[in-house]
Structure 1
Amino acid sequence: MHIEYDQENDTAYVCLVAHIADGAAVRQVAVEAPGGEADLTLDFDKSGRLLGIEVIGARAALPAELLSREAPRA
């Protein structure tokens, strides 16, 4: 799992697999976080496995220590 955080736009992507190939996320499900302060988009592959989660309003939905982590380098 790794997280990419865009502080300027307060968006994060939580990737649950090592790599998501282009076109692998074939189904997206939008969810409003409790309290309405963040929106989540769940990305699934064709087998229904959850690949990642986009978080808009990340500061409201994710722990600060998670957002402050240095992103791993490829």
Structure 2
Amino acid sequence: MRVTYDAEANAAYITIADEIPAGAATQQLHSIATPGGLGEIILDFDDDNRLIGLEVLNARLVLPENVIKAAKDPA
């Protein structure tokens, strides 16, 4: 599992699969609101309907501080 964080977008991506090749996320479940409406979560699935990653929008309000600090820059 790997976490990246884009400070400009205030978005984190949590990769659950070892690696997500380009085009592997073939299905998405959009706009899952977090409790209190503080952020959104988008789930990415592969062709076999397995969860491979998730994006957290407004990550600074949704994720614990230590997760943001430990996250890598996506660039």
Q: Give 1:70 shift.
A: 5.0
Residue 7 of structure 1: how far off its partner (Å): 1.5
Q: Of the two structures, which has the highest relative contact order with CA contacts closer than 8 Å and spacing of 6 or more?
A: 2
* Aligned counterparts of 2:6 and 2:50: Cα–Cα separation in 1: 25
Query: 1 CA distance for matches of 2:47 and 2:21?
Result: 12
CA RMSD of aligned residues (A): 1.4
User: For the structure 1 residues 23 and 37, does the alpha-carbon distance in structure 2 shift closer, same or farther, using more than 3 Å as the test?
Assistant: same
Counterparts of 2:21 and 2:8 in 1: how far apart (Å)?
A: 26
Count residues with an aligned counterpart.
72
The letter of the residue matching 2:29 is V
Q: Percent identity?
A: 38
Q: TM-score, normalised by structure 2?
A: 0.88
TM-score (ref. length: structure 1): 0.89
Which position in structure 2 is the counterpart of 1:18? 18
**Which residue matches 1:69?**
70
Cα distance in 2 between the residues matched to 1:65 and 1:35: 21
Distance 1:35 1:70, change over 3 A: closer
SS in 2 for 1:60: helix
- The runs of 5 or more residues in structure 1 that have no matched partner are none
